[in-house]
Amino acid sequence: MILKKADNYDEIEVNQEFTPLELGGHKGIIKKVEEYTSEISGNTSLKVAVDTDSTDKQPHYYQEQFDNNTNADKKWSTGATKYVSLKEDENCVRMLKAFITAVENSNPNFTYDWNKDINQLNGKKVGLVFGWEEYEKQDGSIGTATKLTQFRSIDKVDNVKIPKVKLLDGSFVEYESYHKSTTNEVPSEFTNITVVDNDDSPFEI
């Protein structure tokens, strides 16, 4: 077989450099919060999309990843998105309160106003905790993706422990044990991504 060289082959840029996001705690900023309703369950959540803050050890990590993606249909990583359920059972209310409290503690003089739109959360600082989550590849093998797992007060993330790894079956295992026992590769730059609508940037604040 002889490969056919595409007309635009020489003009296409390929990004060969990729630095994984360090697991554990990061100083973050909320890029956009929106209401999301699952088409499967019908349950409503807050869809919280974030990036690392300018003061973080890896500043603007997801924005730079997006900007450096040369694909025509470039997408924003779902690793930087977390869904906070709005169901009124005790566990879900506790998770929502933990999120709101983390934002309030991370932004002096900010108190969430329950009479105003959720857009008040956009642009606010918050602590982020990232860990690994297993997923099944198209070939049936198991890979790992870096995911936002928790929100914390921004002053609490410097020495936070790397969270347990979420396995494909929904169970969890300590990161240290998983890392020693698995041969899974470091998550790739384009693992688990989602489409955004804005051509220039996925968020407008």
Residue-wise pLDDT for 50-63, tens only, equals 999 999 999 999 99
Provide the token pair at 92: 């879900």
Identify the residue with better confidence: 15 or 140: 140
Whether 2 has a pLDDT exceeding 90, the answer reads: no
* Domain count across the chain: 1
Q: Residue 5 falls within a domain, yes or no?
A: no
Q: Residue 63 falls within a domain, yes or no?
A: yes
Q: Residue 186 falls within a domain, yes or no?
A: yes
Amino acid at 38: S
Q: Residue 51 falls within a domain, yes or no?
A: yes
pLDDT average, residue stretch 85-102:
96
Q: Residue 100 falls within a domain, yes or no?
A: yes
* pTM (two decimals): 0.80
Evaluate whether 102 touches 151 at the Cβ level (below 8 Å). yes
Name the burial class of residue 62, with classes exposed (0-12), middle (13-18) and buried (19+) by CB atoms within 10 angstroms of its CB.
buried
Q: Residue 133 falls within a domain, yes or no?
A: yes
The alpha carbons of the chain give a radius of gyration, in whole angstroms, of: 19
Residue span of the structural domain in which 179 resides: 22-194
Q: Residue 202 falls within a domain, yes or no?
A: no
Q: Residue 8 falls within a domain, yes or no?
A: no
